[in-house]
Structure 1
Amino acid sequence: MHPALAKGNVAVVTGGASGIGLAAARHLAGLGMRVCIADLPGAALDAASDALIAAGAAEADVMTLATDVSDRAQLMALADEVWARFGPVNLLMNNAGMQPGSSIFDEEGNWDRILEVNLGGIIRGSQIFAPRMIASGTPGLIVNTGSKQGITTPPGDPAYNVSKAGVKAFTEALQHELRNREDCKVEARLFIPGFVYTPLTAGGRTEKPAGAWMPEQVVEFLFDSIERGDFYILCPDNDVDRATDVKRILWAAGDITENRPPLSRWHPDYDDAFKAWLKA
């Protein structure tokens, strides 16, 4: 197990009141860690402490704090309060995100909010927490939640794709910086979930689609991958296995190296070639 995940250590999970974040918080509490869940104010956050306590966490080892990750001052207050109550943070999971849908010319008027939460929240969270984590001299881990849409950038939701592409680039740069700092015991990981049935992806559905994983499954995959030492934690689901993900990613990179049209996977002139590529 990664040394940051030891019993008695401290974890902070943003977007932790539901879905993957809450499943991760439960997992960490089950390891005996002290856990802070940060999320927007509301009923889900109010119930989050009870969910961890019901899973076996001691009340003294759980805290919640209403936090909008797009606001630097609120993230700084989050760090201050966690350090004051629990001490140095060993695991930061920058997981808060939103996907309300978007269009290229922003008819919905939500590009700024998507970028501020999905990308800005991860950048600010890392910038605020990482220096303190490094200075503590204890093992640390920063897990940033990205998306396959930030790698293959399918058409239909450009703001979300841009935000998650930025998360990938930022987390790669963060890990490069951390591994080249002398005596630094903090590392970063890029978490890339597949199709997961959460409030973010439910789309009004009340039953899990057959192709989706449950949050607990993807969280188990996440921490198994951390134990293996993986940086890119590319999660499968019931519809898409790793081999298919790899081919999709390589095809997307080939748009540049082969000088194809952008998003050629969805271009009618390349439909047959892509299908043949998948079968090859």
Structure 2
Amino acid sequence: MQSVIQPQKTALITGAASGVGYAIAKLCRSKGMHLLLLDIDHENLAKTKAALAELNSSLITEAFVLDVADAALWKETTRQIADIVQDIDLVVLNAGKGYKPQGTDTGRLKPWLDGNYWEKTFNTNVRGPLNGLEALLPVLTASKNKAPKSIVITGSKQGITNPPGAGNPAYNASKAAIKNLTEHLAFDLRSDPATENISAHLLIPGWTWTGLMGNVGPTDEAEVKKPSGAWYPSQVAEELAKGLETGAFYIVCPDGETDPALDQARMKWGSEDVVEGRPALSRWEKNWKNRAEEAIQADARTRRA
């Protein structure tokens, strides 16, 4: 399937008002695409719409304030979109958020004592994309235009390597769920002749300086101060474009500190905890940590050779 990032095609992007979502929208606009921008942040969404419309006023640029966790609002927004465009060629379900557990406990049990922390995380990071699929899949499948269409869902390496941390369990688990459900979606789409023109892809950013880390709003990256090892959101957008061009399902982005070989070695070690019967998250377990690091670095060196 050819990439859907082409002139006069239409992209719908959630979390479009900053970070990776804005970068993807900007890349799509540079390729001559119409844009449907969705975000809960109405102020930055308005700025995003204005900035992208200014790049090419002849193309459609529409913005919709949306909480992705609101299934009814998703359906209403989809009805509004149907009055504006006939087809959606690229869907990027990118909106996501990390929350911190609340409470007086400061130890490892803190996340497990705050049910609201889990609920908020899963409502945004898992129910959000599922709500989007429920609203948009009927639009994509009903289209008489059987040209290629793509659905991209933003995951995270944390959903694969699962690093422990006081605020990480719910976020990691939500992104692990995203990996799982996107794999199923891709299989189901390609297994049905009626939907084989629709591909699904899992975007897996590395360390990226996004709104989750303070890079909020539609920013000029030349003015953004970030750690030297982090990627700009535009680099993730470019990696996505390459992945769609080659038809990749897992679009794994490196960053300034972690190359593909190290990513692969870390992912392999984590998956082998099950096969080898090691302790859960052995990479960080005190009796395994040094052995894990030595093995991972050796594996990475082999992969680079």
TM range (shorter): over 0.9
- Residue 171 (structure 1) aligned with residue 182 (structure 2): yes
Q: Name which of 222, 229, 237 aligns with 2:247.
A: 229
Whole-Å Cα distance in 2 between the matches of residues 248 and 3 of structure 1? Answer: 30
- Residue 24 (structure 1) aligned with residue 35 (structure 2): no
What residue identity is the alignment partner of 1:146? G
The aligned length equals: 278
Higher normalized contact order (CA 8 Å, seq sep 6+, divided by chain length): 2
Shift of 1:124: 1.6
Shift of 1:110: 2.0
Which residue in 2 is equivalent to 1:275?
293
Which residue in 2 is equivalent to 1:13?
13
Q: Aligned runs of 1:199-210 on 2, under 5 Å?
A: 199-202=211-214, 207-210=225-228
- Aligned residues with identical type, % of pairs: 35
Q: Name which of 110, 113, 134 aligns with 2:120.
A: 113
Shift of 1:129: 0.9
- Residue 84 (structure 1) aligned with residue 83 (structure 2): yes
Whole-Å Cα distance in 1 between the matches of residues 154 and 124 of structure 2? Answer: 12
Gapped regions of structure 2 (runs ≥ 5): 102-109, 217-223, 299-305
- Residue 93 (structure 1) aligned with residue 92 (structure 2): yes
- Residue 143 (structure 1) aligned with residue 142 (structure 2): no
Q: Name which of 179, 193, 218 aligns with 2:205.
A: 193
Q: Is the 8 A contact 2:18 2:215 kept in 1?
A: no
Whole-Å Cα distance in 2 between the matches of residues 106 and 122 of structure 1? Answer: 26
- Residue 182 (structure 1) aligned with residue 193 (structure 2): yes
Whole-Å Cα distance in 1 between the matches of residues 179 and 279 of structure 2? Answer: 23
Q: Call closer, same or farther: CA 1:116–1:151 in 2, change over 3 Å.
A: same
Which residue in 2 is equivalent to 1:63?
62
What residue identity is the alignment partner of 1:34? H
- Per the normalisation by structure 2, the TM-score is 0.87
Q: Call closer, same or farther: CA 1:220–1:3 in 2, change over 3 Å.
A: closer
Shift of 1:17: 0.4
Task: Write out per-residue CA displacement over residues 213-257 of structure 1, whole angstroms, 9 at most, x where no aligned residue.
Answer: 001111101111111111000100001011111011001101100
Q: Is the 8 A contact 1:119 1:166 kept in 2?
A: yes
Whole-Å Cα distance in 1 between the matches of residues 65 and 138 of structure 2? Answer: 23
Whole-Å Cα distance in 2 between the matches of residues 14 and 272 of structure 1? Answer: 41
Q: Is the 8 A contact 1:36 1:64 kept in 2?
A: yes
What residue identity is the alignment partner of 1:27? L
Which residue in 1 is equivalent to 2:104?
none
What residue identity is the alignment partner of 2:85? F
Alignment root-mean-square deviation, CA: 1.8
Whole-Å Cα distance in 1 between the matches of residues 49 and 113 of structure 2? Answer: 37
Task: Write out per-residue CA displacement over residues 121-147 of structure 1, whole angstroms, 9 at most, x where no aligned residue.
Answer: 111212221232122133210000000
- Residue 154 (structure 1) aligned with residue 163 (structure 2): yes
1:189 alignment partner, SS class: strand
Whole-Å Cα distance in 2 between the matches of residues 24 and 239 of structure 1? Answer: 22
Q: Is the 8 A contact 1:193 1:236 kept in 2?
A: yes
Q: Is the 8 A contact 2:121 2:170 kept in 1?
A: yes
- Per the normalisation by structure 1, the TM-score is 0.94
What residue identity is the alignment partner of 1:8? Q
What residue identity is the alignment partner of 1:43? E
1:188 alignment partner, SS class: strand
2:56 alignment partner, SS class: coil
What residue identity is the alignment partner of 1:130? L
Which residue in 1 is equivalent to 2:274?
256
Shift of 1:109: 3.1
Which residue in 2 is equivalent to 1:130?
137
